Amino acid sequence: MTPTRSRTRGRLLAVLLTLGCALWAASPAQAWAWWPPYPNEPTTDIVDSTQWGGQAVALTFDDGPDPEDTPRLLKVLRQNHVKAVFCLWGDHVRQHPDLVRQIVAHGHTLCNHTMHHDDMSTWSPEEIRADLEETSAAIREAVPHARIPYFRAPYGAWGQTPEVAADMGMQPLGWSLTVSDWNTPGTDELVQRLREGITPQSVVLLHDGGGDRSQTVDAVARIIPELRSQGWYFTHPAWRG
């Protein structure tokens, strides 16, 4: 290698290293793209905080995909440059595989939310594993080789599911804030509950399926710009408990 080419490569490496350090110093949100989001093996701990600290929020959506509300939600998230976690209900995945492909194409993260949304709190490990394997298989029928880093138990009825999920490579995902959007209290009320309930490193439980979630989508469209104006940023839940 000539001295000139060696110096050129050295200068390029220095620029890249400087840029990486600058992004890390600027904010964890900007650094996200520079560092692997899932660096460790999952644990049986149920995570309920964000990957990064400060005024961080992670939005998670359960029970989809839904042909009415999921596309609207994806549009809202895209317009606001927010990535979220979608906890997929296996039956709905099989009904709407195209929506799963859209979720992945938009750069969102997938979560196994069981096949039939059953309460697994009394199930045996063998029964749990069979269900989670069926759900992941349904997701990968829609999106081959899809990465599914999280598992969330329906109703928060965990039982022995954390041990099984971790053994299958999925981190159990809880939440620190729920606004009971399944009761459809009205968009204004949901916005107020989000406004009052979000604290630093919140993992927020919302829904894009399992019923009419139009109020949830409208509330998300309103709250994201408001939070951003107050210095909040959006990131992923923690990977390891």
Q: What residues act catalytically?
A: 62, 207
The whole-angstrom separation of Cα 238 and Cα 117 is 23
Parallel/antiparallel/unpaired status of strands 109-112 and 233-234: unpaired
At residue 136, φ and ψ (nearest 5 deg) are -65, -35
Q: Are the C-beta atoms of 31 and 51 separated by less than 8 Å? A: no
Query: Reduced to 3 states, what is the DSSP secondary structure of residue 45?
Result: coil
DSSP state for residue 76 in the 8-state scheme: H
Tell me the three state secondary structure of residue 182.
Answer: helix
Strand, helix or coil for residue 64: strand
Provide the 3-class DSSP secondary structure of residue 39: coil
Q: Which residues pair with 50 in a beta bridge?
A: 237
Token pair of 60 as six digits: 């998670």
